[in-house]
Amino acid sequence: MLDACAELVDEVGYEGLTTTLLAERAEVAIGSVYQFFPDKRAIVQALALRNMEAYLERLSARFAAGNLAHWWDGVDAAIDEFIGMHRTVAGFRTLHFGDVVDVHLLDEERDNNVVIANRIAEVLHEQFAVADTPTLRFALEIAVTTADSLIKLAFRRDSDGDARIIQESKTLIRDYLQSHVGV
């Protein structure tokens, strides 16, 4: 059902998505949809959580490959994986991590970008021994929100992502984190 949801969101958007349409696409009875999800928001929330886990798995795999010498290589990898998902994962370009539905879709108490920033802080701490401090987490919140906006701009300008905007995004985020966190 989540795969069908991802396809439909790309085709008709969140507003056009219905549980009936989802049941038809997934080739299941409408009752089966409601057995697992009370409404379309819950379906999209499950898809957004799956996207976040896929993103973090992709990022962890990049880090585990050992090709990253410094934390800024990790920043580039984080941006590259986000862009890669934009290009290849059904539904991701439309939903991202659910912000088009609700900025608190991943967590009722925290903004979606805060959830992502906190997870990136954990990964940077594990992989590069960057001190996981409130200052780092705040700076990452700003960086994730900025990168998210710039990447959306890159994909509005070019369906494959404007390469100049993507490169400038990486430079901006690295410079910001260097000056504000000093890592």
Under a CB-based contact definition with an 8 Å cutoff, are residues 113 and 144 in contact?
yes
The residue-averaged pLDDT of 109-121 equals 84
| Six token digits for residue 113 | 């970008």
Question: 68 versus 183: which is more confidently predicted?
Answer: 68
pTM greater than the 0.85 cutoff:
no
- pLDDT one-digit tens code per residue, 48-106: 889 888 988 888 888 788 777 787 788 888 899 989 998 999 988 887 776 666 666 66
Residue 177 in this model has a pLDDT that exceeds 70: yes
Query: Residue 99: which H helix or E strand, with range?
Result: none
| Tokens 């696409």 found at | 25
The count of other CB atoms within 10 Å of the CB of residue 86 is 19
Average pLDDT, rounded, for the chain: 87
Instruction: List the domains of the chain with CATH numbers.
Output: 52-181 (1.10.357.10)
Distances (CA, A) of 47 to 8, 16, 44, 57, 93: 12, 16, 5, 15, 12
Q: What is the pLDDT of residue 95?
A: 79
